[in-house]
Amino acid sequence: MNGLQFNWPIIGHHKIKQFLQTSIVNDKLAHAYIFYGPEKVGKTLTAKTFANTILCEKYQTYSSPTASTVESNLIAPCGECSSCHQFEKNIYADFYIVEREVDEKTGKKKSLISVAQIRDLLEKISKRAFLNSYKIVIIPEAQKLNQEASNCLLKTLEEPSPRTIIILISPSKELLLPTILSRSQAFKFLAVTKKDIYEYLIGKGANRSYAKELSNVASGRPTVAMKFFNDSNRFLEYKNDNLELFNVFTQSTVEKFKFIEGFVNKNKSKDVLLKKLDYLSSLTRDVLMISSYKNELIANAYLENKLERAAADYSQTRLKNFAVRIEETKDLLRKNINPRLVLENLILNL
């Protein structure tokens, strides 16, 4: 039987990719996997690509026990077969993604994944596969499973259905039940190197200066780099947001009051406020890097001159304290404390 080649658009994570691909080639697939690590480093993309490969008709041909010979240079996922087309449109019958449901009253996602959702899932995967393939489940926020849902899922992991794969994704493995961990293969995803992101962008056609700028901004998160690479307007918006946020380092107290008022009025969504605080945290880190003479480590290199002026005005202790208060402010916002009050407390005490 000829070899199988892989078409995986994943930046970095070379050892994890190699392990998963070797498992596919050798048909040694586990019934449960845990992908854990920081946000936006490629956990969900890896899970979906892994699933797509297994469900691709090219892999089904390769792994068929009745196949004596197959065409050479099989590439999976091929992106051309009916299975790949269905997968891309998210209509593949034996592929399931379990996410938090939307609350009909508020229009927002519920805080947790319910046991009813898991019971419904288990009923579906207990049946024979529609397409005589694997049944694959991805839970992108497995840490959001409530206690009852986790225990319900555990029963399936203890007695797995044949040709069923469940992939749990979480920021940390400690957020999952130890008994779930013990019945799964766990993979830790780390931040990706600038070099890997830079080289991938060059391969996608980015010029060197743009690839360097995006790989810096990404700060080890390939998903961020590709989001901006695929949408230059979004990247311009990001840069404008950072220019606006940088003003907190240079404004007078009166100007800061005006800034906070406009900022809260313009960014009413809690999720948007949290995202902007992430930007402010990145700017603060950049100023700290420059004050430590580590300019090569800054994310927002296009602001280097401004960052250097701020580094001259603030001590490292002050900047470190501000970085801690940003994280505390994010926690308060998540607890629905008044945004104006928490932002005033943060910015006026910089």
pLDDT digits (tens, 9 = 90+) for 333-346: 999 999 999 999 99
Instruction: List beta partners, residue 166.
Output: 32, 137
Strand partners, 170: 36
User: Which H or E element spans position 317?
Assistant: helix 316-334
287-342 pLDDT per residue, tens:
999 999 999 999 999 999 999 999 999 999 999 999 999 999 999 999 999 999 99
* Listed residue (220, 221, 259, 222) closest to 241, CA to CA: 259
According to the model, what pLDDT value does residue 335 have?
Answer: 92
Which amino acid is present at 178? P
Decide if 323 contacts 284 (C-beta within 8 A). Answer: yes
pLDDT of residue 72: 57
Nearest-angstrom CA–CA distance, 135 and 96? 8
Please give the pLDDT value at position 4.
Answer: 82
Instruction: Report strand pairing: 4-6 vs 74-76.
Output: parallel
CB 46 within 8 A of CB 140: no
Distance CA 92, CA 235 (A): 33
Cα–Cα nearest to 195, from 296, 274, 100, 291: 296
Which residues of the chain fall short of a pLDDT of 50?
1, 69
SS3 77: coil
**Which SS3 state, helix, strand or coil, does residue 174 take?**
helix
The pLDDT, as a whole number, for residue 216 is 96
pTM as predicted: 0.90
Q: What is the dihedral sign for C-alpha 234, 235, 236, 240?
A: positive
Distance CA 274, CA 255 (A): 22
The pair of three-digit structure tokens given for residue 285, joined into one six-digit string? 């880190």
Question: CA 38 to CA 220: how far, in whole Å?
Answer: 10
What is the predicted pLDDT for the residue at 148?
A: 96
Instruction: Report DSSP state, residue 4.
Output: E
Number of neighbouring beta carbons within 10 Å of residue 267: 18
d(CA 46, CA 189): 10
Helix (H, G, I), strand (E, B) or coil at 147: helix
